[in-house]
Structure 1
Amino acid sequence: MKFVADVHLHSHFSRATSKDLTLEHLGKWAQLKGVHVIGTGDIAHPGWLQEMKQKLEPAEEGLFRLKDEFARAVQGQVFPACHAPVRFMLAGEISSIYKKHEKVRKIHNVIFAPSFEAVEKIQAALERIGNIRSDGRPILGLDSRDLLELILTIDPQNYLIPAHIWTPWFALLGSKSGFDSVEECFDDLTPHIFALETGLSSDPPMNWRVSALDRYTLVSNSDAHSPQKLAREANQFETELSYPAIFEALKTGDPAKFLGTVEFFPEEGKYHYDGHRKCEIRWHPQTTLAQQGLCSLCGKPVTVGVMHRVEMLADRPEGEKPPRPQRFQSLIPLPEVLAEVLGVGATSKQAVQRYHDLLSKLGPELAILQDLPLADIERAGGSLLAEGIRRMRSGEVSIAGGYDGEYGVIKLFEAQERASFSAQLHLLAPAVEPAKAEPALAATPAKSMLLKEGVSAFEWKQGDLFSQPEAVSEEQSFEIPTIPQSETILAGLNAQQREAAECTDAPLIIVAGPGTGKTRTLTYRIAYLILEQGVAAKQILAITFTNKAAAEMVSRLTALLGEAVAGRIVIKTFHAFGALILREAGQRLNLAPNFLIGSEEDRQTMLQQSLPDLSKSEQQQALEQISAAKNQLLRPGSPELPVRYGPELSRIYQAYETALRKNQLLDFDDLILRAVELLETFPDVQQSYQARFRWISVDEYQDVNLAQYRLLRLLTGPETNLCVIGDPAQAIYGFRGADRAYFLTFTQDFPGAKTLPLSQNYRSSQLILDASSQVIAKAPERQALELWSEVIDPTRIEVYQAPSEKAEAEYVVHEIEKMVGGLSYFSLDSGRVQSEDSTAGRSFADFAVLYRLGAQSLPLIEAFERSGIPYQTVGQTPFYEHKEVKELLACLWFIHNPDTAFQLESKWPSKLVKQLKPFLSNLKNSADPPAVTGLIESIQQFVRPQRQWDEKGEARIQQLVRFAVPFTTRLADFLESVALQKETDVYDPRADRVTLMTLHASKGLEFPVVFMVGCEENLLPYQMPGKTFDVEEERRLFYVGMTRAKQRLILTHAKTRFLFGQKYQNQPSPFLNDIENTLKEIKQMAARKAAQEKESFQLKLF
């Protein structure tokens, strides 16, 4: 059968769309327009899926129809002449914004699914990646190629068609943020792309000029943001009415089955020509070249349109057809034809009334525009209308082409021509004076250098504006150089770094300011020891503060030395190294080698079971005090304990320790405390470790506490070479017991020690360094280095005052939207983002939002959720802290140590524990050590009949499986790695998302753009009511935050802030006053636009 399909549109869940985009209204308007198959739109949105499942029922294979009760609600509004069955196809658009090949890409793709089950799986997968609930067309930091792989993995009958491929923004071949070929975008999965959507601003002849597109079927859809816009572009088929048949026709491009497309006149599309909407400049590509791509009024780059972009990629002359050209027909929507005939607006009451009158007499709009005899149209609508449709069908139109977001204007008649048909006008609109054209729709080209529409194709010369070599970003320009392989291992270091790396004859303390290449220097020093000094890799110990830092050091040393050599170096965090000592020699303290490492939840359970009379707040306070005591090497019987924490803690501490020993558990702090105890108690053990590790390097030495300091002193013998690196100006963990005094007294602790500085910063602009130095310089005991940078950028530090914390969050979101260059067409059309902002070229991963307290993240999260901007929050509950993962980990701990069932019994019901114990024992006793992933999957299968997990739970378990893969059969290492994970380890630098994190968690990271929110007195510096605080540590924290920024730093504060259930009115942070005015740009919230302006804009959208 013959039918028309329009499968790319939106629902009312999408931003800037009509509230009438419901399934009922879509079904109604599909009949009025003459469309038989329509896309549902927005299949990624959970709310829309729920609505679809409620209102749709299966029809032909892979297609759906409205249930009778919902169809009846609107069928009375459809003229009998338009009645026809309508089918729905599950489809929706995904916006991907990501960085690939060192360039930010913004690509829209339409995905299709044959069933609700497939849609549910797609949503589950996408929700693990980003926010799919705030916008019907979600914005994800997901590579288009990876999106295609994701949907194909779920169901091979899922399909993807790149959307409106030529539009400058958000398109596969777009000039602003697209690729130069389909292959460049989809890589190895390119064979799975079989169709391309041409978009409103191009038609098939324009696409024919690029021979690389010959093998793709060219489709057209309305991309409707309101039901009335359906079928402004559409596809025509003659095949079986089913999902498989439709896609088979598209895959083969068989002209007997795919009959071609219904098209806009491409000039009417809003990105056809080049131009600059703000200055009302509309240009032919030749003029753009002549003007070197810059607006003749404001001097900013013009937006390069579709025609220009096609010309750039074309390898055929204009007018030449491909071997298999497809049919198409260019039409003008009937309301626009009537508007010109009547001399009124397309949405005027008169035009709408005549539109309905014609449909009631003649049938659907597409039939009137395409097929009906002109005589029938003349009888129903008059000779002027018939003449207009004749001209449209034959292409006799004049057009002022669209540019930079402004739709083009099509004219069928000149004013005098309408007058000559006055005899007909009274039949259509008696006694109505023809209206003036609206200013926005005036056909006269605005201040224009537009050449004649019919100008022939022109030559593109090498070296013109659009063939320049790709610009090198500021980040790339000032990247620390890689090592020339032909030179010494230290050739890539600067003079200070090289001096530090070569200093191997004395204890060494390296004072390394932020961004000076601290980790690089440390790793190259280790490589130098092995390659140039002949030190055995197994004699080297490197200690870091985070697992992420340890993993980075392993990666760098592997690249320098190879996996075999790097694998012999011991690189651990303090706690992981303590665990290593205790597993190797802990028997001397009567510790089993397979002891368990307790989580925070385990600590609470222990204390609860031991002292049930304690309230929750008393338990929490006691656990915090016990942790602090252990970091100070205090035991339950230490005389100093009651002096510091009161007499009651000794009893609580002792009960807690008894419970730990009973269950063969060590808590996090025990790993260092007991290691110190072991080395102090047994000198032979101490000497063996001193002999084993002759070369010790310690990162972030300014943050060590007493227990860590003591462990290092015990490891350092007379033959040990100790190198520590850090920055006392970045000591920010005093509240955890860290003491930067150990850094400041290093040369006293180790006589003969050398002190070397690193002062060249490779991260930030000099202006950012100057400003941050002014803040830290106010410290009474200043230890900060005078940092310098080769990055010269005059961009000042922005200080923004918002009226409230919610307004502050909205400002952050809006600024990110601008710097990304817009999130959608709404960003551009609404003026939130100017077209020139689109050249910013930043990806979401370039941004960090830093705050003093986790509670400040709440309004930020709300704002990011509303915006749809992908984000990750460091500090949210990590996957391994969720119930289903902890249950599986408890089983693995039992396999590791079946002598204690504490974790198993605290995580599973007693009935199931009885079944689990023999099952897990059998797994442990299997002949060959099973892989950790195999153990997890076996446990899953065993408990699945009694324990069901939801989709999110299953996803977290799969994340656990992926985490376990590198450990192969090393169960103990896997469990220890999970147990020692910290908050900062959750941060994933590969995720193309904005990062939200506390200032403390940001230590060691860097971002091109940093927002520091809440720069207010009593918040930064933070002072809890009624408690003393260390204002200088708060100053150092402010300094750490500022020096995370590479290119832009925005400091914000709010006049009023709602926090912890109270409203505060704080003054700006005193630290802001430490920055001289010449380095700052002060901003405040601009006055809101008038409500009627917003309303006027919203009307234009539809």
Structure 2
Amino acid sequence: HIHSHYSRATSRDLTAEHLHKWAQLKGVQVVGTGDITHPGWLQELQAKLAPAEEGLFRLKDDEAPAIQKDVFPACQCPVRFLLSGEISTIYKKHEKTRKIHHVVFVPSFEAAETLQTALEKIGNIRSDGRPILGLDAHDLLEIVLETDPRAHLIPAHIWTPWFSLFGSKSGFDTIEECFEDLTPHIFAVETGLSSDPPMNWRLSALDRYTLVSNSDAHSPSKLAREANLFETELSYPSLFNALKTGNPDTFRGTLEFFPEEGKYHYDGHRKCGICWDPKTTGHHQGKCPVCGKPVTVGVMHRVETLADREEGRKPTTASPFCSLIPLPEVLAEVHGVGANSKRIRQSYEFLLSQLGSEIAILRELPLEDLERIGGGLFAEGIRRMRTGEVITEAGYDGEYGVIKLFDPQERTSVASQLGLLAVAPKRVDPKPKQQPHQAPHVSENPAVPIVAEQPEPDLTGHHDRQPLTPEQGLAGSPSSPILTSLNPQQREAVLTIASSLIIVAGPGTGKTRTLTHRLAYLLAEHGVAPENLLAITFTNKAAEEMRSRLTNLLGERLVRQIVIKTFHAFGMMILRAEAEHTGLAANFSICREQDRRTLLRQCSSSSLREQELTLYLEAISVAKNHLMLPDDPEMQTFVSHHIVERIGSDQVPDFLALYRQYESALQAYQMVDLDDLILRVVRLFETNSAVLARYQGRFQWIAVDEYQDLNAAQYRLLTLLKTPEVNLCAIGDPDQAIYGFRGASRAYFLTFQDDFPDAKILHLSQNYRSTQAILEASRQVIAQSPESTAYEIWSEFVSQTKLEIYQAPTYKAEAEYVVHEIERMIGGTTYFSLDSGRVESHEDGTRSFGDFAVLYRLGAQSHALSEAFQRSGIPYHIVGQTSLYAYKDVQTILAYLWLLCAPDSRFHRDLITTKPRGLLEPFLEELQHMLDERQPVSQFIERIQRFQAQAEEVSDEKQAARLNRLMALAAPFGHRVRDFLEAAALHSEADEYDARADRVALMTLHASKGLEFSVVFVVGCEESLVPYERAGKPWNLEEERRLFYVGMTRAQEKLVLTHAKRRFLFGQTRRNPPSRFLDDIAQALKALQTRQGRRARPTTKGVAPQLTLFEE
């Protein structure tokens, strides 16, 4: 358990050469490499290490001589390297944030590379040698076991308050709770510097595990502070067999720190100078008498909490151990100077040159030899250490403890008498090692106010859950279980079935729940046949969520018969079924967004720039969303009203020509684009009354989610299906209409009752997501819009936490602030977070990475944020940055699959670049044979990838990762190739976010629609950005206001709004004032934040301090 120079807060000397050198100086024969998950370090190890005994490595012959000359002959011995690394996992389990460190071991570089590949799919393994992953410890163990049958995991420093299995801050009470069914694969646990075996013996559950001790070295000189003793064959299998069996003949015990010297042995508060044993902590009810905040509960306290044995009882399985003090610290006491001084370094080197390795000096060599070379006082110090006659001042809250061999006065006396007097002087009796100790510098002055007894304001953002309004009792509980969990307004919406209905549902008011329960009620209580129900959503994710909720209520058999689809998926279903009436081939293919770009580029006689291509494609979509084709009589008028402002009047002829060629190409290739999936269905229904009547007769009950986002084509489709006999229920919120730029219009929502005079309107007003402060601030912003339909939304969640407003000097400083705040709210991601003061020890984070979202107006803002998160090592995901389906290698695989479904597709055949071309037809026949055998889609993808590799296509790690991700997406489809292709074609930005991945989500405000997070940062709250205004381009202030409102209402507990004085964007430095929307929020709801300063560093007199990274 050590690290490399790729880890944060570690020495640059942590290289293979220096580890080879220091292992000999310390007396270590097998040393861990550390950091095997870091690609750069692994590459370095592969260049410098050669295979030795099975599963072990040695420094290569050409690397060793240069460093070996620095090793004293008395210390020289063979050194072997064991591939190891530490992994930090931070995640939520059983409603609590867990932070666990693990040490993993693999027997080969191939296994290490396999592990890296698996972990890089989950998080960032390149910014820190010890990666931080939002991954359950159980799942990490599973990945390790799948890497190689001989790969192992050992929980690290299991008692440390933070980052450990049993830690008081974020651990578990049992190993089984952490690793569940995989617990049998855990055979050893690392005790850590702040505990020793007798402390661990007090927990009988640990009897079946081998207790190991490691140095957790952050520099080569810190090796062997703790170590393990083996008497076995020198090989990877033998070492781990000894650990697995705990055989006392092969595993001979451990070398230990005195646990009091560890940083977290006792309880306390470092800043306040408070150090307590567990009993004293209990007396003070865990509160610091200086600042009133909870003290950090240390290892001894946690052991006392979980212990089921009295102190002093030794299990039969116990291995031997001995406690040592690092040799420089012994010498520091002897000489009365600091352990890092030049004098101590010289004395240390002299002793090693004369006597051998440090471990041999500390535990093996005769005292007479030590006295002969080091003097009588030195020998006496070693004797006391070996017999445990030490004076302890326990470490606490990140402060290392002190282990003394001599009282200060005694040291002078002993030094003068040893060698002069035959009788040693009387010594001050040391405190027994296990006696509870209270640091001598703690004052018990009763005059110190116990401020901890005063109630603290809630600064965490967590809900107090005080009811805001009187409890609303029900007049009587309806018998239907479908209704029992609904509030009165939701229940009314479910029961209103005599007429069409529009439900105004503000953010967090249970929109999906209400709609789902309404469908369930119609089926279970009202006798509606499932095939007569149609539910339309705007995203695939929303459709899946609705289907899942209905399945929980009604069972899979019934729900399978309900049509629950997005508008596009519904259109595709009809076009497939009615292909003969549309002029399309039955096996038509879908022109995805990337395919559209390829197609339009083919149609253009001149080379179009990417920006022009985007503008023309957007204009085509706008036209189709208004049901306009290039040769329609009204097209010219439509262009003048809706297209000119987008592309400019001088581009209109080119646009119309390109649009005609684009449509001709689609027809020739027998393809439809996504907009056609609705346009063609509308035209089919308008021209074929028999087909329309069939669908009108089938779908008697229609429910539409997000009705405020309808465009003209979708609206027309619904009005065609809606006869007087059809019951239409629409739900949404016109104040969250944010897609006007795509052709959507909230007017359809506002005129619903004009369109359907029998319709009733209902409101949902109880919010189940956000605190009342967030709701009130959001309401104040949206209420400034003359278009707002804002009505009172209320929440039971009351908190004293205000919205935080932060102004950064630059956009980079803004990104660093976001990262720092997330790190602080999590309670620290590393020990460096605590030791450096970035995070206070009392900040008991209960959130995990998945609880945070960072929202921005433009995708270009993500770059600075991404860089800051990369540096921090915090796991994150940029939602919608680059779709998997946009990569050329993935497009090629999809092209092969499309050729199975549409063999005559010239478009997809042209996408395949396999050479020589003569190999293509035989390979397609092979794929057809696989299709006939109904083989899984994932196997097709794997086979295609192998074929591409044989055709000498370039492959790399990232491509392999994309392939694995594509196979994972294909797995649920089984052998249904076409279904997988259609799902891939309908994939949208909203589908990119996976709530199961415990990572910070970075996304645009648009992409955040429909999501919620405990803590939300909205960055870039500046004029011209929020609201977004482009020079010379049309913009909609009120839609921008609604977009900001959507972003604000994603927050459950805490909302942070940031802006920067200077921002570099699109090649220009901008200096814009804070957004006007911030002024709409009452001052009483806002708290202006300043960056918490880090602890001042001493500077040399007369020398200016170094500028920070972002000072200008």
TM-score, reference length from structure 1: 0.93
Matches within 5 A, 1:291-690: 291-423=284-416, 445-447=440-442, 474=463, 487-616=480-609, 617-643=611-637, 644=639, 645=643, 646-690=652-696
Q: The residue matched to 2:254 in structure 1 has which SS?
A: strand
Matched, 1:174 2:180: no
Measured in 1, the distance between the counterparts of 2:840 and 2:904 equals 66
Amino acid corresponding to residue 718 of structure 1 in structure 2: P
Partner residue in 1 for 2:112:
119
Matched, 1:256 2:249: yes
**Which one of the candidate residues 280, 286, 289 is aligned to 1:287?**
280
* Cα distance change on mapping 1:746 and 1:976 into 2, 3 Å: same
Is 2:837–2:1094's contact at 8 Å kept on the other side of the alignment? no
Deviations 1:56-112 (A, max 9, x none): 111111111111232222222111111111111110100000111111110000001
Matched, 1:899 2:926: no
Q: The residue matched to 1:635 in structure 2 has which SS?
A: coil
Measured in 2, the distance between the counterparts of 1:1075 and 1:942 equals 60
Measured in 2, the distance between the counterparts of 1:443 and 1:926 equals 74
Partner residue in 1 for 2:778:
772
**Which one of the candidate residues 923, 938, 941 is aligned to 1:936?**
941
* CA drift at 1:574: 0.6
Measured in 2, the distance between the counterparts of 1:94 and 1:1093 equals 35
Partner residue in 2 for 1:465:
none
Is 1:642–1:650's contact at 8 Å kept on the other side of the alignment? no
* CA drift at 1:233: 0.4
Q: The residue matched to 1:161 in structure 2 has which SS?
A: strand
Q: The residue matched to 1:564 in structure 2 has which SS?
A: helix
Q: The residue matched to 2:392 in structure 1 has which SS?
A: strand
Q: The residue matched to 2:950 in structure 1 has which SS?
A: coil
Partner residue in 2 for 1:455:
none
Which range moved further: 403-412 or 584-593? 584-593
* Cα distance change on mapping 1:618 and 1:790 into 2, 3 Å: closer
Q: The residue matched to 2:534 in structure 1 has which SS?
A: strand
Measured in 2, the distance between the counterparts of 1:516 and 1:631 equals 30
User: Share of identical aligned residues, percent?
Assistant: 63
Q: The residue matched to 2:255 in structure 1 has which SS?
A: strand
Matched, 1:919 2:914: no
Amino acid corresponding to residue 907 of structure 2 in structure 1: F
Is 1:642–1:648's contact at 8 Å kept on the other side of the alignment? no
Partner residue in 2 for 1:1025:
1031
Partner residue in 2 for 1:788:
794
* Cα distance change on mapping 1:930 and 1:218 into 2, 3 Å: closer
Q: The residue matched to 2:1098 in structure 1 has which SS?
A: helix
Partner residue in 1 for 2:887:
882
Deviations 1:831-856 (A, max 9, x none): 1001111x221000000000000000
Matches within 5 A, 1:756-771: 756-771=762-777
Q: The residue matched to 2:486 in structure 1 has which SS?
A: coil
Matched, 1:831 2:826: no
Is 1:1016–1:1069's contact at 8 Å kept on the other side of the alignment? yes
Is 2:787–2:1038's contact at 8 Å kept on the other side of the alignment? no
TM-score, reference length from structure 2: 0.92
Deviations 1:224-271 (A, max 9, x none): 111111111001111111111111111111111111110000111111
Partner residue in 1 for 2:198:
205
* Cα distance change on mapping 1:149 and 1:369 into 2, 3 Å: same
Partner residue in 1 for 2:878:
873
Matched, 1:819 2:825: yes
Which range moved further: 921-930 or 534-543? 921-930
Matched, 1:109 2:102: yes
* CA drift at 1:899: 2.3
Matched, 1:852 2:857: yes
Matches within 5 A, 1:969-1008: 969-1008=975-1014
Which range moved further: 62-71 or 548-557? 62-71
* Cα distance change on mapping 1:977 and 1:829 into 2, 3 Å: same
Is 2:10–2:218's contact at 8 Å kept on the other side of the alignment? yes
* CA drift at 1:917: 6.3
* CA drift at 1:13: 0.7
Partner residue in 2 for 1:1092:
1098
* CA drift at 1:1013: 0.2
Partner residue in 1 for 2:449:
none
Which range moved further: 123-132 or 1078-1087? 1078-1087
Partner residue in 1 for 2:457:
none
Measured in 2, the distance between the counterparts of 1:334 and 1:786 equals 70
**Which one of the candidate residues 940, 946, 953 is aligned to 2:951?**
946
* Cα distance change on mapping 1:79 and 1:123 into 2, 3 Å: same
Is 1:107–1:170's contact at 8 Å kept on the other side of the alignment? yes
* CA drift at 1:200: 0.3
Is 1:287–1:449's contact at 8 Å kept on the other side of the alignment? no
Partner residue in 1 for 2:1110:
none
Deviations 1:128-172 (A, max 9, x none): 110001100000011111111111111011111111111111011
Measured in 2, the distance between the counterparts of 1:784 and 1:904 equals 53
Matched, 1:219 2:224: no
Partner residue in 1 for 2:1041:
1035
* CA drift at 1:747: 0.7
Is 2:26–2:359's contact at 8 Å kept on the other side of the alignment? yes
Amino acid corresponding to residue 20 of structure 1 in structure 2: D
Is 1:384–1:424's contact at 8 Å kept on the other side of the alignment? no
Measured in 2, the distance between the counterparts of 1:605 and 1:533 equals 50
* Cα distance change on mapping 1:114 and 1:72 into 2, 3 Å: same
* CA drift at 1:360: 1.0
Is 1:1010–1:1049's contact at 8 Å kept on the other side of the alignment? yes
* Cα distance change on mapping 1:1011 and 1:376 into 2, 3 Å: same
Q: Structure 2, unaligned stretches of length 5 or more?
A: 421-436, 446-459, 644-651, 1107-1112
Q: The residue matched to 2:578 in structure 1 has which SS?
A: helix
Partner residue in 1 for 2:423:
none
Matches within 5 A, 1:59-74: 59-74=52-67
* CA drift at 1:632: 1.1
Measured in 2, the distance between the counterparts of 1:286 and 1:313 equals 15
Partner residue in 1 for 2:709:
703
Partner residue in 1 for 2:452:
none
Q: The residue matched to 1:97 in structure 2 has which SS?
A: strand
* Cα distance change on mapping 1:448 and 1:917 into 2, 3 Å: farther
Matched, 1:740 2:746: yes
Q: Structure 1, unaligned stretches of length 5 or more?
A: 1-7, 428-441, 451-470
Partner residue in 1 for 2:962:
956
Amino acid corresponding to residue 623 of structure 2 in structure 1: A
Deviations 1:995-1031 (A, max 9, x none): 0000000000000000000000000000012212100
Measured in 2, the distance between the counterparts of 1:828 and 1:737 equals 51
Deviations 1:369-418 (A, max 9, x none): 00111111111111111100000000000101111111111111112222
* CA drift at 1:885: 2.1
Matches within 5 A, 1:28-39: 28-39=21-32
Is 1:586–1:678's contact at 8 Å kept on the other side of the alignment? no
Partner residue in 1 for 2:1082:
1076
